[in-house]
Amino acid sequence: MFTTAAQLLDMTDKKLMVALRDGRKLIGVLRSWDQFANLVLQSTVERVFPGLYADIPKGIFLVRGENVLLLGEIDLDKDDDPPPGYEKAEAEVVHKLAKERQAKESQIEKVRLGKLKELGFEGENTGEALI
């Protein structure tokens, strides 16, 4: 079994789900790749999951190999089934929910950084105190 980008040879022209380091999930057909595991996906959609889910069309997508966290083939027989526990919604609704969730997480992070500042911890590589 290969442990390099050569494993992608078997996945060429198949529908894949790619999880990226920034948390995005892309679904598309693998058309090309190189020795650095850079991927070219065709008919790509970004699937967003904040309680509901939506597929946002992206078209042809180039993914830099170092950003790939997880890669897996999609079972075409089960592809049309919604993810368990999720309802499909319009992209605008899902984006609104995602922004609300991000605002809450940002507020929690500010509180956390404030408490760290009170304890005397400083920000990384800045020499300045945290927020």
Domains and CATH numbers, the chain: 5-88 (2.30.30.100), 90-131 (no CATH)
Kindly report the three-state secondary structure assignment for every residue of 91-111.
Answer: HHHHHHHHHHHHHHHHHHHHH
The CA distance from 49 to 121, in Å, is: 34
Q: What confidence score (pLDDT) does residue 125 get?
A: 52
Phi, psi of 122 (to 5 degrees): -115, 160
Does the model's pTM come out above 0.75? Answer: no
> Per-residue confidence of the chain (131 residues) as pLDDT tens digits?
455 666 788 888 999 999 999 989 999 999 999 888 899 999 999 888 767 778 888 999 999 999 999 998 988 877 666 667 777 777 777 778 778 888 998 999 999 888 888 888 876 654 555 55
The CA distance from 123 to 113, in Å, is: 9
